[in-house]
Amino acid sequence: MTINKYQGRTKEEAIENAKKEMGEGAVVLNVKEIKPKGMLKVFKEPIYEVTMAMEEKEKFANPVSAAAVQQKTAEGINLAADEPITIPHAPAAHAQSAHVQSARVQPVTEGQTALAEERKENTSEGLERRLENLSHILEKQLSAEENCKEERMETQQASPEGFQFVKMLYRTLLENDVNEKYVNQIMEDAEKVVSKGNSVDYILSNVYQKLILKFGQPDTINLTAKKPRVIFFIGPTGVGKTTTLAKIASRYKVEKEKRVAFLTADTYRIAATEQLRIYANILDAPMNIIYSAEEMNAALERLCDYDLVFVDTAGFSHRNEAQCSDMKSLIAGLNEEYEREVYLVLSATTKYKDLLEIADIYREIADYKLIFTKLDETTTYGNILNVKLYSGTSLSYMTAGQNVPDDIEVFDTQKIVKQLLGGR
């Protein structure tokens, strides 16, 4: 992994500077605003510093060998403790969950008070403080890597506190519904860091960086000079496609001053058409109802001067083959002269197995980017990482509420990773 820092007058400029040197695959680890100092600080503008990371190859575990990796991780963590540990013998019916059972540690003696206090920092409360100060942790890690990486690897020994901390991170990720095979991949890397005698802060920073890289850089609407750009929103019933479409369109209309228009192919629900018509009237944007690809292309000819045309589609069960075929025909029927983007809208509250099935079915309809909605209706975000890694596609936006044009933002990778690691 390559980690570098870049500066700019804005966050966007700093990221652009980084990508010019590191390439488009670089992802943001941290953003920091640097305020001017000295007597003339009132006359100076603050600058932004971004910490960027690039890793050439990301390895994902083979699902067939996930059980073996899981057992290896569990054993590596338990056997590295510095005190006697008794691992309960689980019944055969519960053998799969034996690796997550808590170890029984001998009582702390008076001479181990300092050690106990140190371990107290490895609790959820201590993790919360470390996550809040993650920028400082990253600074420490970068400094350590630059100045004494070889010395640290040669002279330090594995830290018992480090292994205890990894165990806690392991449980935290599982509790946040991250799939076990992905947790094992992350913890396998963390074990290597622990075995080199790194501090708890260094371990946390390393896991944080790995998760950031797995999520990747958000990929949002790409505006080009060619008009109009056609944006399709697809997804199951009830995930919030129409509301999400209106939120994004409002941002481009109001904040970016782009000309937007609406098409709706959702003729199954009268309420959906009326809802979109209300949003169109508020934004003073044209709206047309379409029933086929031919009607869509005819409408686009009339909208040739618009920057963005947002297409709302009908929500349906991913198991309805007839509606899946109709949706595929609509998107594939777009004239080649128009550039398109397709966004699959998913609810963060949907069950993991259903999300995987939906991701597979909609992949047959078109290549897509991901938008997750209803983050305010759940406390666990592991499924976002699960679907991202399973589908291999990019994340774009996330929503948390019904307010238009608010309650939406570009996918905030740093925020989600901190929450997955136990932050708030």
Question: What are the sequence ranges of the domains in the chain?
Answer: 2-54, 64-84+115-215, 229-413
Supply 385's token pair.
């990482």
- Under the banding of pLDDT at 50, 70 and 90, the label for residue 224 is confident
Distance CA 208, CA 215 (A): 11
Give the count of alpha carbons within 13 A of 124, CB side only. 9
pLDDT of residue 91 exceeding 90, the answer is no
- For the ranges 19-23, 122-126, 206-210, the lowest mean pLDDT is seen at 122-126
Residue with the two structure tokens 């963005």: 308
Residue with the two structure tokens 């209106």: 246
Distance CA 147, CA 398 (A): 39
- Under the banding of pLDDT at 50, 70 and 90, the label for residue 83 is very low
Rounded mean pLDDT of the chain? 79
| pLDDT in the model for residue 96 | 42
Beta bridge partners of 397: 371, 410
Average pLDDT over residues 328-346: 95
Average pLDDT over residues 217-241: 91
- For the ranges 13-17, 195-199, 363-367, the lowest mean pLDDT is seen at 195-199
- Under the banding of pLDDT at 50, 70 and 90, the label for residue 116 is low
**Per-residue exposure over 329-345, b if at least 16 CB sit within 10 Å of its own CB, e if not:** ebbeebeeebebbbbbb
Distance CA 351, CA 87 (A): 32
pLDDT of residue 82 exceeding 80, the answer is no
- The C-alpha R_g of the chain, in whole angstroms, comes to 25
Distance CA 13, CA 7 (A): 8
264 and 331 Cβ atoms separated by less than 8 Å: no
- Under the banding of pLDDT at 50, 70 and 90, the label for residue 222 is confident
β 408-410/395-399 pair status: antiparallel
Instruction: Give the homologous superfamily in CATH for domain 229-413.
Output: P-loop containing nucleotide triphosphate hydrolases (3.40.50.300)
- Under the banding of pLDDT at 50, 70 and 90, the label for residue 366 is very high
Please provide the distance, in angstroms rounded to a whole number, between the alpha carbons at the two ends of the chain: 27
Average pLDDT over residues 172-194: 90
| pLDDT in the model for residue 51 | 82
| pLDDT in the model for residue 199 | 81
| pLDDT in the model for residue 159 | 63
Q: Which of 418, 416, 421 is nearest to 384 (CA)?
A: 416
pLDDT of residue 157 exceeding 80, the answer is no
List CB contacts of 175: < 8 A, sequence separation 6 or more: 380
Distance CA 421, CA 163 (A): 16
Distance CA 187, CA 270 (A): 49
**Residues above pLDDT 70, as percent of the chain:** 75
120 and 168 Cβ atoms separated by less than 8 Å: no
Q: Which of 385, 387, 343 is nearest to 367 (CA)?
A: 343
Distance CA 305, CA 315 (A): 29
- Say how far residue 188 (Cα) sits from the centre of its chain: 20
Supply 97's token pair.
């969950």
Average pLDDT over residues 86-111: 43
Q: Which of 178, 180, 192 is nearest to 63 (CA)?
A: 180
Average pLDDT over residues 67-87: 40
CATH of domain 2-54: 3.30.1660
| pLDDT in the model for residue 13 | 82
H or E, element range at 351: none
- Under the banding of pLDDT at 50, 70 and 90, the label for residue 105 is very low
- Name the more confident of 267 and 312: 312
Model pTM score: 0.73
pLDDT of residue 154 exceeding 90, the answer is no
Average pLDDT over residues 213-226: 90
